Amino acid sequence: MINTVASPVSGTISELRIGNNSIITETTVICYVESMKMEYEIKGEVSGRIVAVNVAVGSQISTGDVICTIDTSEQAESIEPQSAKEEDLPDFDLLAKRNELYLSQAARLRGDRRKGELTALERIELLFDDGSFEEYGRFAIAAQRRRRDYDDLVDRTQNDGVITGIGTVEGTPVATICYDYDVLAGTQGLQNHRKLDRIIDITSRLRIPLVTFADGGGGRPGDSDGFVPTGLEVSSFAELAKLAKKVPHIAIVSGYTFAGNAALAAVADLMIGTEGLSMGMGGPAMIEGAGLGTFHPSEVGPIHIHEESGAIDIRATDMTDAIGLCKQILGLITNKVTTPTDASATIDLNSVVPQKRGRTFDLDLIIDGVSDATTKIELKAKFGRNLRTFLTRVEGVSAVIMANDSRHLAGAIDRDAADKATFAYKIASKLQLPIISLIDTPGFVVGPAAEATGGVRSFGQLFIEGACCQSELIAIVIRRGYGLGAMAMTKGSFKEALKTISWPTGEFGGMGPEGAVRLGYRKELEAIADPTLREAKYNELLEALLRSTSALSLADAFEIDDVILPNNTRATIKRLLGRPNGDSLDPSGL
């Protein structure tokens, strides 16, 4: 039986693989036809022997033209199936080599340049769920082809000093910018910034959290491809800063973090720093170039400086610890309600505040008694220590705690504490977390020395941020709720809080009661000549004022919403924050 094979397309025979008497099967490739710059594979379609070939390489054919004639009378079983010739795929081999180089490069450098530090790839592995990370631009090389050999660039600059991509952290989508100090010291070049712009755009579109590992040497002057005299038009810094209004951003800084790398870290919502950190807006070379002296990198912004100034929010022992803290924070802000756990310790909150009004107490006992045992991360621990701030969970609900600490400046709010409370309002509003405000303050710090710090503007910013904060706030007056300072701790007014509560130890006033008596009754007291009688009168007036401004007296006048026993604090917070599945508040038991 005779069959023919016709061309399904018009074109030119570019390759012919059969001749007369060729034995073929249905899968045998007999020729290729080039049409519209593409080669179409023509197969035998039947088994048999070629008895006539009607075309040659270079022949022009039309759709339907016969390519060859096949005699199918031979028994099919006598014909051995033939497969198309396997062609070499050099691009596949090249990709395999580049992949191998990328991984071997990281392995080769692991722990070599900075002893004890995790490489960029190790950080990625530790942060993201197994197999979830999708990298962007890993084969990008430095824009230095005019001055360096291509193979050298591939070998030494692959990823151009930064790894970018997206993945999941405990099931939650997260993006990352991870500077690679083992490649060009993590400096920023042309391709590096293009990679930044790309991942920033992806992060903005997906509205997912961003984690930045920022250590690196800042801008890189050696890129030669493309005419970029200064690089001042790059958009990375502006676009990353714009993310501040869109997504949560956590920066982790370790080792040397200078200039542009420090600037990228500085726009994050939260910054975690590790031991050995040196961070500055200029590195040693820039400092020396400006004629400001010669310094070792470790002398430029060590971690204790940034802790005390409030630039670093959380201190970690090393990169592993930092990534663990980062994952805890991501869990708090992306999984805002979990199964409640017990407090950190069995603490009798009823006995924490001393009976003597002027005696300090351990605020940490209250923080531990209110917070769940599983999570409690202090922010800016060594900055503005008269006010404490925490990310935590209370009865399974993620929250921000800010609290006055009487052990430092008697809990009064100075400029640093005001800036710290402003930060607490900002972070709570940005991360959409409720605020637990534990109040024990005599008010703002006053006097000529305090005014010299410019605190009045910081106090103003505190009121602005509190009034504009979108998070609900539960105010709990532990002891002293005096003046503008107490109001600033409650978003500007006791009525701005979701609920303003006091412990029985609470006392209130426009200012401290001692000062109120001495100022308000100055003439009456000065009229008493006998010092003993004058002091007795003063104590009588003070006791009367304390009774009229006690917690229950303010509740009688409805200046506050309730008075509770300290040991009922967690239960009260639970009822106020307990809104499962978006249900409205359950007022029972409040």
Query: How is residue 247 written in tokens?
Result: 């997504």
- Is 351 domain-assigned? yes
pLDDT tens per residue across span 352-374: 999 888 899 999 999 999 999 87
Q: Are 379 and 420 in a shared domain? A: yes
Q: What is the CATH number of the domain that holds 465?
A: 3.90.226.10
- C-alpha R_g of the chain: 36
Q: Are 343 and 200 in a shared domain? A: no
pLDDT tens per residue across span 463-475: 999 999 999 999 9
Per the structure, the complete domain to which residue 133 belongs is given by 91-329
pLDDT at 105 over 80: no
Domain total of the chain: 4
Tell me what percent of the residues of the chain surpass a pLDDT of 90: 62
Mean pLDDT, residues 495-520 taken together: 88
pLDDT at 72 over 60: yes
Would you say 480 and 411 are in contact if contact means Cβ atoms under 8 Å apart?
yes
- Is 83 domain-assigned? no
Query: How is residue 235 written in tokens?
Result: 């958009």
Strands 38-43 and 29-35: antiparallel
Average pLDDT, the chain: 89
pLDDT at 248 over 90: yes
Q: Which of 41, 57, 78 is the endpoint of a domain?
A: 78
Place of tokens 């969970």: 393
- Is 62 domain-assigned? yes
Q: Are 60 and 99 in a shared domain? A: no
pLDDT tens per residue across span 181-227: 888 888 888 899 999 999 999 999 999 999 999 999 888 887 877 76
Predicted pLDDT at 559: 93
Predicted pLDDT at 587: 36
- Is 442 domain-assigned? yes
pLDDT at 115 over 80: no
Predicted pLDDT at 135: 95
Work out the pLDDT band at 548, boundaries 50, 70, 90.
confident
Would you say 302 and 277 are in contact if contact means Cβ atoms under 8 Å apart?
yes
In sequence order, the 6+-apart residues with CB closer than 8 A to the CB of 279 are 253, 257, 258, 262, 265, 273, 300, 301, 303, 306, 311
Q: Are 173 and 43 in a shared domain? A: no
Work out the pLDDT band at 589, boundaries 50, 70, 90.
very low
Q: Are 228 and 364 in a shared domain? A: no
The SS3 call for residue 322 is: helix
- Is 86 domain-assigned? no
Q: What phi, psi does 376 have (nearest 5°)?
A: -160, 105
> How far is 498 from 484, CA to CA, in rounded Å?
19
Predicted pLDDT at 582: 38
pLDDT at 80 over 90: no
Work out the pLDDT band at 267, boundaries 50, 70, 90.
very high
Q: At what angle do helices 363-370 and 569-577 cross, to 10 degrees?
A: 50
CA dist list (Å): 352 to 366, 437, 587: 7, 17, 28
The SS3 call for residue 264 is: helix
Sheet holding 29-35, edge to edge: 38-43, 29-35, 11-16, 60-61
Q: Are 134 and 282 in a shared domain? A: yes
- Is 580 domain-assigned? no
Q: Are 168 and 251 in a shared domain? A: yes
Predicted pLDDT at 83: 53
- Is 234 domain-assigned? yes
Predicted pLDDT at 337: 86
Q: Are 265 and 355 in a shared domain? A: no
pLDDT tens per residue across span 162-179: 999 999 999 999 999 999
Work out the pLDDT band at 387, boundaries 50, 70, 90.
very high
Q: Are 521 and 564 in a shared domain? A: no
- Burial code of 519-540, b = ≥16 C-beta within 10 A, e = fewer? eebeeebeeeeeeeeeeebbee
Give start and end residues of each alpha helix (H) in 469-521.
Answer: 483-488, 513-520
Q: Are 412 and 444 in a shared domain? A: yes
The SS3 call for residue 514 is: helix
| Nearest-5° Cα angle at 65, 63 to 68 | 135
pLDDT at 578 over 90: no
Work out the pLDDT band at 583, boundaries 50, 70, 90.
very low
Mean pLDDT, residues 538-552 taken together: 82
Predicted pLDDT at 546: 79
Predicted pLDDT at 586: 39
> How far is 293 from 289, CA to CA, in rounded Å?
8
Tell me what percent of the residues of the chain surpass a pLDDT of 70: 92
Q: Are 238 and 370 in a shared domain? A: no
Predicted pLDDT at 590: 33
> How far is 498 from 47, CA to CA, in rounded Å?
84
Mean pLDDT, residues 498-505 taken together: 96
Return the bridge partners of 31, or none.
16, 42
- Is 588 domain-assigned? no
pLDDT at 588 over 50: no
pLDDT tens per residue across span 5-47: 999 999 999 999 999 989 998 889 999 999 999 999 999 889 9
Mean pLDDT, residues 425-446 taken together: 96
Q: E strands, 293-386, where?
A: 314-316, 376-379
Work out the pLDDT band at 512, boundaries 50, 70, 90.
confident
pLDDT at 304 over 90: yes
In sequence order, the 6+-apart residues with CB closer than 8 A to the CB of 457 are none
Q: Which of 329, 356, 371 is the endpoint of a domain?
A: 329
Work out the pLDDT band at 413, boundaries 50, 70, 90.
very high
- Burial code of 178-216, b = ≥16 C-beta within 10 A, e = fewer? bbbbbbbbbbbbbbbbbbbbebbebbbeeebbbbbbbbb
Q: Are 208 and 130 in a shared domain? A: yes
Predicted pLDDT at 96: 86
In sequence order, the 6+-apart residues with CB closer than 8 A to the CB of 395 are 340, 372, 570, 573, 574, 577, 578
Q: Which of 329, 344, 362 is the endpoint of a domain?
A: 329
200-204, 389-393, 525-529: which has the minimum mean pLDDT?
Answer: 525-529
